Amino acid sequence: MFSRIAEFTEKINVAPIFGRHFRTLYNNRTQKISKPDLLLFIGVPLGAVIATYLLKVRLGTTGSFLAAIAALAAFLFALLILMLQMAAQVATSSETGGVSTRNRKRVKLLREISVNVAYCSLLCIIFTAWLALGDFTIRNPQGNSSGGKTPAPQQPTWYAEVTYFFLVHLLLTLLMVVKRTLRLVDQELDNALVSPERE
């Protein structure tokens, strides 16, 4: 039964993306999963959740978040297509000129960035669905009997804290993608100044 379910959901099974993404968080020296990186990408969002809870930071409507995440998802998908084009160029270069040290470095970095971008895109999809759920969880407080101003609608605490975790985790991952993309650009520019024979 489980094999049939796995076969049925094979084309939409995105679970391997999570594992591949976290495997890119390794220490360059030991080639093992980096505990400081895990602390940064998991611990810091958890710390933000605790801080917002203690400071009683409330969350209202999620419409603005939803629009921003949807636009970001479109940008990330375009970036993923760009990664595909660059991978195709590397593959063509290897087919015509052989597998060089330069191409090995490109493949490694491209693969890591592509996984990170795919992970961010997946987070945006999940986050979009989560924010859409906010229309059903928001609370509309009643005005007080003295005729004062009606308080603004607020999300339940549990919903707000999960949202803050997602948001901080996504922002940190995006910063890593930006840094790695710049590293790839710098590497290509450095390679442009070095003859392949000197590698």
With a cut of 80, say whether residue 5 has pLDDT above it.
Answer: no
Mean pLDDT of all residues belonging to the chain: 84
Q: How many domains are there within the chain? A: 1
User: Does residue 12 fall inside a structural domain?
Assistant: no
User: Does residue 32 fall inside a structural domain?
Assistant: yes
User: Does residue 7 fall inside a structural domain?
Assistant: no
Per the model's pLDDT, the better-predicted residue between 181 and 139 turns out to be 181
User: Does residue 1 fall inside a structural domain?
Assistant: no
Closest CA to 199 of 101, 130, 122: 101
Banded model confidence at residue 58, pLDDT cuts 50, 70, 90? confident
Query: In angstroms, what CA-CA distances link 19 with 106, 107, 112?
Result: 21, 19, 12
Domain range for 21 is 17-139+153-194
The structure's pTM equals 0.85
pLDDT, position 184: 85
User: Does residue 2 fall inside a structural domain?
Assistant: no
